């Protein structure tokens, strides 16, 4: 494991149009727009965006990918990482605060809970994008990020990533028996890269 | 560890299996909280309550970022304090992971912490023998500051601590079935939403602590109290007061509680002390001690003081100090005994003076049997605070009580520049204006529901109830309006948020109806069990289905998320449910969905199982032998109407 780091990201401005998309709201009700604004503000206050990452070697043989700390059987990942000699593996989260807010409002207003959920989903994607940009700038070439559960990469591989990066301790994110993360607005992913850093 | 609840579990596990001293350190964030939200003061309160022998922090950041946390721990801890930070945060420099604090800087900070009361030092990630050597050399010239007993009467939730004695505290009384028909009904129906709503509204009204009592005939108090405490802490961050006379319920709730609670209560009876004190010693807690014993409640302040002193002595034998006892000298009814209030007030004064302990009163008992109870309660409350009362169990939603409280704090100079008083009065005035502005001339319930205006829907319903029967309001006004929005949604003229706004407006109307008529106000349709299957923790979609089904008059029993198949079956059996609705969001939980359907169908072949959720399809539903697949909440309503 090389280049282990924990980075904190300043919370980007929530994208209200994206929240509307998540809600599948194509209308233009002023009442709903006000509610989206209100929820975006509430969510913004509790976001605590962090990424824990490290670089690992990649060795591919047929459909097996070996990262040094674990190897995994996945034809789609092997194909995706073809040509990469290393990968940046990361865990990202926007923190537990958003889950608490969602729970707090779920008994009061299903719509508010849904809005907050959308704000959380949008924010974690934002954080991954920001981190991805940093990585793209760091390496000569990278491929797009790939997460456990996608294609034929078993969701159980998430457990190996959690252990390798010690995400319980470093991000305060936990994995349930059913492979779901708490806080729920969290992501684990692999970014394939090659060549030395710039 | 970086979570308070996890730390509690670990500490209990160690304590239950070994007698060695236990040192507990946690990893704090740079916002001076654990990653899961606990403040240093909350952690110290809980860990000291559980009997940790030394408390502190390790890992996470360098000492430079953690000086604030370690000072806060030292300020409140009565046990030795540990400081073991990282050599900074790991970052990448020139392609290598480095920790950015040098051995000299590290030692400088850590040694400075020793001067503010840290007793045990060391280094975590990124440190090396060189760092420790610097500490060792620097410590030679230091004098150890011994830990001191801070004597704080303190309780905590998962997020923060609350200290008795700084200003009178408000303990919200409403989560108690005694005399409250809606709470009784909610407990019988296992309707935790209603209980959670009561918790939240008391917090918003200014409560510092919430009393939780689930004791009533016909329910399993141990199960209900544990469940309510567990769920309350997910939606409300106030410390809780566990209120029960059932020792097994008490232990179960103390075990599940994430923090240091108030325990309500012990009294001078030998048997009660023998049961409560060992639990308080094991799990930690501030104990409410009632000044009564085998011979009843003494008639004089001196008699009540005598019991208080005896309770303190017995507590001491169990290793429980004065700081963890607050006395309740008991409020009796002034309507039947004109000296009753005077004796209570004098007892508060005397016990405070002679024991140095904090006090608590359930205030409203004073007015039992009298008219205009709020008036006399608030006057008694002010007198009691003037006698030194440190906390009161009251209804924080009562304007009279909170008005008296805010006034007292302003008049005594506790509320500096009367800022809290001013904002309290303004918010009350604001509420009143908002109430009147919510409805316009010619507004109807139909319009309010269709346009999704909750406050208006509630206000109009209140008016309508004076003239129209509740069932007629539901069937002639609410349901047809919901149907209009529902049809627009189905034909894609309205979107999900609009459907939800209307559903919530309808719900607020139903709530008004329920407050006035507890029975027969539902739509009288059949019972539906809802659950998100085991392994799945996503329940937003299921909650939307619940909202709509309730609106359409179905009796919904919501089992929550991550529900084992056996629990679904048990609830379906107990409630003779006609329909079970299951939801799953993740592909990984589909096997669990299949297992639940199979179990319910095997044991209850006539029960109809409906499934839904992001990963479900009609084909999959058929494959696992579910009776139906519904793609959204409206479709679920339509399906149930069809099979009725």
Residue of chain A with shortest Cα separation from B502: A111
B92-98 CB contacts, 8 Å cutoff, 24+ apart: B92/A3, B92/A4, B92/A5, B95/A2, B95/A3, B95/A196, B95/A197, B96/A2, B96/A3, B97/A2, B97/A3, B97/A4, B97/A5, B97/A54
Percent of chain A clearing pLDDT 70 (strictly above) = 98
- DSSP structural state of residue B594: H
* B571 token code pair: 């609830």
> Residues B59-78: what's their mean pLDDT?
95
**B581 vs B533: CA distance, rounded Å:** 10
Condensed to tens digits (0 to 9), the pLDDT of residues B527-538 reads: 999 999 998 888
In Å, how far is B537's CA from the nearest CA of chain A?
Answer: 8
At residue B521, the pLDDT reads 45
> Residues B562-586: what's their mean pLDDT?
94
Residue whose entry in the numeric block shows the structure tokens 């003037």 = B386
At residue A197, the pLDDT reads 47
Residue numbers in B near A180 (CB within 8 A): 535-538, 586, 588
At residue B96, the pLDDT reads 84
8 Å CB contact of A111 and B500: yes
**B95 vs B509: CA distance, rounded Å:** 62
Chain B (490-549) residues lying within 8 Å, Cβ to Cβ, of chain A: 494-498, 500-501, 503-504, 534-540, 543-544, 547
- Mutation site for B-interface testing, chosen from A106, A140, A151, A157 by largest number of B Cβ within 10 Å: A106
Residue of chain B with shortest Cα separation from A47: B35
B407-410 CB contacts, 8 Å cutoff, 24+ apart: B407/B382, B408/B168, B408/B381, B408/B382, B409/B167, B409/B168
Mean pLDDT of all residues in chain A?
92
In Å, how far is A169's CA from the nearest CA of chain B?
Answer: 6
Question: Of B97, B100, B88, which is closest to residue A165 (Cα–Cα)?
Answer: B97
B38 touches chain A (CB under 8 A): no
In Å, how far is B8's CA from the nearest CA of chain A?
Answer: 16
8 Å CB contact of A3 and B92: yes
- Nearest by CB: B544 against A95, A110, A172: A110
> Residues B236-253: what's their mean pLDDT?
97
Helix (H) or strand (E) segment spanning residue A103: helix A97-106
| A198 pLDDT more than 50 | no
**B44 vs A20: CA distance, rounded Å:** 43
- Nearest by CB: B193 against A107, A169, A197: A107
Coil/strand/helix, residue B464? helix
Other CB atoms closer than 10 Å to residue B372's CB: what's the count?
9
Condensed to tens digits (0 to 9), the pLDDT of residues B337-385 reads: 999 999 999 999 999 999 999 999 999 999 999 999 999 999 999 999 9
> Residues B581-610: what's their mean pLDDT?
93
8 Å CB contact of B37 and A26: no
> Residues B542-570: what's their mean pLDDT?
92
> Residues A82-100: what's their mean pLDDT?
95
B422 touches chain A (CB under 8 A): no
**A64 vs A77: CA distance, rounded Å:** 9
Residue of chain A with shortest Cα separation from B584: A178
Residue numbers in A near B92 (CB within 8 A): 3-5
Condensed to tens digits (0 to 9), the pLDDT of residues B253-312 reads: 999 999 999 999 999 999 999 999 999 999 999 999 999 999 999 999 999 999 999 999
Cβ within 8 Å of residue B132, ≥6 positions away: B122, B123
Given the DSSP bridges, would you call strands B325-328 and B286-290 parallel, antiparallel or unpaired? parallel
8 Å CB contact of A106 and B540: yes
8 Å CB contact of B586 and A178: yes
Which residues share a beta bridge with A43?
none
| B222 pLDDT more than 60 | yes
Q: How confident is the model at residue B435 (pLDDT cuts 50, 70, 90)?
A: low
At residue B338, the pLDDT reads 93
- Nearest by CB: A6 against B3, B90, B544: B90
Cβ within 8 Å of residue B279, ≥6 positions away: B247, B250, B251, B254, B263, B285
Domains of chain B: 4-139 (3.20.20.330), 154-397 (3.20.20.20), 399-433 (no CATH), 445-516 (1.10.1240.10), 527-643 (3.40.50.280)
* A99 token code pair: 């889950």
8 Å CB contact of B497 and A23: yes
Q: How confident is the model at residue B95 (pLDDT cuts 50, 70, 90)?
A: confident
Inter-chain Cβ pairs, chain A and chain B, closer than 8 A: 133
- DSSP structural state of residue B246: -
| Span of A105-109, B228-232, B268-272, B300-304 with lowest mean pLDDT | A105-109
Condensed to tens digits (0 to 9), the pLDDT of residues A7-32 reads: 999 988 888 889 988 888 877 788 89
Report whether B87 contacts B118 (CB < 8 A): no
Mean pLDDT of all residues in chain B?
93
Residue whose entry in the numeric block shows the structure tokens 């309507």 = B335
Residue whose entry in the numeric block shows the structure tokens 């209603």 = B194
Residue of chain A with shortest Cα separation from B453: A31
8 Å CB contact of B588 and A27: no
Question: Could you tell me the CA-to-CA distances from B19 to A122, B7, B11, B22, B422 in Å, in that order?
Answer: 49, 18, 12, 9, 53
Condensed to tens digits (0 to 9), the pLDDT of residues A111-121 reads: 999 999 999 99
- Report the complex ipTM: 0.84
Condensed to tens digits (0 to 9), the pLDDT of residues B71-90 reads: 999 999 999 999 999 999 88
8 Å CB contact of B503 and A110: yes
Name the E strands within B193-323.
209-212, 240-243, 262-267, 286-290
At residue B288, the pLDDT reads 98
Residue of chain A with shortest Cα separation from B505: A109
Residue numbers in A near B533 (CB within 8 A): none
Given the DSSP bridges, would you call strands B23-26 and B391-394 parallel, antiparallel or unpaired? unpaired
| B438 pLDDT more than 80 | no
Question: Could you tell me the CA-to-CA distances from B184 to A107, B176, B250, B371 in Å, in that order?
Answer: 19, 8, 20, 24
Residue numbers in A near B539 (CB within 8 A): 106
What are the residue ranges of helices labelled H in B388-495?
Answer: 399-411, 419-437, 445-451, 454-464, 470-472, 479-490
Domains of chain A: 2-197 (3.40.109.40)
Q: How confident is the model at residue B516 (pLDDT cuts 50, 70, 90)?
A: confident
């Amino acid at each position: 494991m090389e280049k282990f780091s924990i980075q904190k990201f300043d919370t980007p401005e929530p994208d209200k149009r994206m929240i509307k998309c998540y809600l599948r709201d194509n209308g233009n009700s002023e009442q709903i727009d006000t509610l989206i604004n209100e929820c975006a503000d509430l969510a913004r206050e509790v976001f605590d965006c962090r990424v824990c990452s490290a670089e690992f070697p990649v060795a591919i043989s047929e459909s097996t990918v070996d990262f040094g700390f674990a190897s995994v059987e996945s034809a789609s990942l092997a194909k995706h990482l073809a040509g990469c000699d290393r990968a940046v593996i990361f865990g990202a989260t926007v923190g537990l605060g958003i889950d608490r807010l969602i729970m707090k409002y779920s008994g009061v207003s299903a719509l508010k809970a849904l809005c907050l959920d959308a704000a959380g989903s949008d924010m974690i994607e934002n954080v991954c994008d920001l981190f991805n940009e940093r990585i793209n700038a760091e390496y000569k070439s990278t491929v797009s990020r790939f997460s456990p559960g996608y294609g034929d990469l078993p969701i159980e591989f998430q457990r190996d990533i959690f252990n390798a990066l010690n995400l319980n301790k470093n991000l305060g994110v936990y994995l349930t028996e059913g492979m779901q993360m708490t806080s729920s607005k969290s992501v684990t992913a692999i970014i394939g890269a090659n060549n030395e850093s710039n | 560890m970086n979570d308070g609840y996890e730390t509690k579990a670990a500490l209990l596990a160690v304590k239950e299996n070994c007698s060695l001293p236990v040192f507990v350190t946690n990893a704090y964030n740079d916002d001076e909280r654990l990653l899961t939200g606990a403040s240093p003061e909350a952690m110290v309160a809980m860990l000291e309550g559980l009997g940790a022998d030394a408390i502190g922090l390790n890992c996470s950041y360098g000492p430079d970022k953690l000086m604030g946390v370690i000072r806060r721990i030292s300020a409140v801890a009565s046990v030795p304090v540990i400081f073991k930070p990282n050599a900074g945060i790991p970052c990448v420099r020139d392609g290598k992971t480095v920790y950015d604090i040098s051995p000299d800087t590290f030692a400088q900070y850590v040694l400075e912490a020793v001067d503010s009361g840290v007793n045990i030092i060391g280094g975590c990630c990124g440190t090396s023998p060189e760092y420790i050597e610097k500490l060792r050399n620097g410590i030679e010239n230091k004098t150890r500051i011994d830990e001191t007993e801070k004597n704080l009467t303190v309780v905590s939730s998962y997020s923060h601590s609350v200290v008795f004695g700084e200003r009178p505290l408000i303990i919200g009384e409403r989560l108690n079935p005694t005399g409250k028909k809606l709470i009784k009904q909610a407990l019988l129906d296992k309707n935790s939403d209603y209980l959670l709503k009561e918790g939240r509204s008391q917090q918003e009204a200014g409560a510092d602590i919430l009393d939780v009592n689930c004791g009533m005939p016909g329910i399993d108090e141990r199960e209900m109290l544990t469940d309510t405490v567990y769920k309350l802490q997910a939606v409300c961050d106030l410390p809780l007061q566990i209120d029960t006379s059932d020792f097994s319920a008490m232990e179960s709730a103390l075990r599940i509680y994430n923090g240091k609670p108030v325990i309500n209560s012990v009294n001078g009876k030998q048997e009660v002390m023998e049961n409560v004190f060992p639990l308080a010693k094991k799990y930690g807690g501030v104990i409410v001690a009632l000044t009564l014993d085998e011979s009843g409640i003494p008639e004089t302040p001196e008699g009540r003081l005598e019991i208080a002193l005896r309770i303190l002595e017995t507590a001491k034998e169990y290793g429980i100090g004065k700081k963890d006892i607050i006395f309740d000298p008991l409020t009796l009814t002034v309507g039947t005994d004109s000296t009753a209030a005077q004796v209570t007030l004098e007892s508060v004064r005397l016990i405070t003076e002679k024991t140095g302990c904090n006090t608590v009163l359930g205030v409203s008992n004073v007015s039992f049997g009298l008219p205009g109870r709020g008036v006399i309660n608030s006057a008694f409350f002010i007198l009691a605070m003037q006698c030194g009362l440190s906390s009161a169990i009251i209804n924080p939603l009562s304007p009279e009580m909170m008005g008296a409280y805010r006034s007292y704090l302003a008049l005594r100079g506790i509320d500096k520049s009367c800022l809290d008083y001013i904002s309290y009065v303004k918010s009350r005035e604001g509420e009143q204006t908002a109430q009147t502005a919510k409805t316009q001339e010619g507004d109807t319930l139909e319009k309010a529901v269709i346009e999704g205006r909750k406050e208006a829907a509630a206000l109009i319903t209140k008016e309508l109830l004076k003239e129209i029967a509740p069932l007629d309001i539901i069937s002639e006004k609410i349901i047809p309006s919901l149907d209009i929005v529902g049809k627009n949604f189905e034909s894609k003229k309205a979107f999900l948020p609009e459907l939800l706004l209307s559903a919530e407006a309808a719900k607020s109307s139903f709530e008004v109806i329920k407050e006035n008529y507890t029975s027969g106000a539902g739509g009288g349709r059949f019972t539906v069990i809802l659950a998100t299957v085991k392994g799945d923790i996503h329940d937003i979609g299921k909650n939307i289905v619940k909202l709509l089904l309730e609106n359409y008059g179905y009796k919904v029993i919501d089992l929550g998320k991550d529900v084992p198949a056996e629990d679904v079956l048990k609830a379906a059996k107990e409630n003779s449910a006609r329909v079970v609705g299951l939801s799953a969001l993740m592909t990984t939980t589909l096997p669990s969905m299949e297992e639940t359907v199979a179990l319910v169908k095997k044991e209850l072949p006539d029960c109809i199982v409906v499934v839904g959720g992001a990963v479900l399809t009609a084909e999959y539903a058929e494959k696992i032998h579910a009776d139906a697949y519904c793609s959204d909440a409206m479709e679920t309503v339509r399906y149930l109407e069809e099979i009725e």
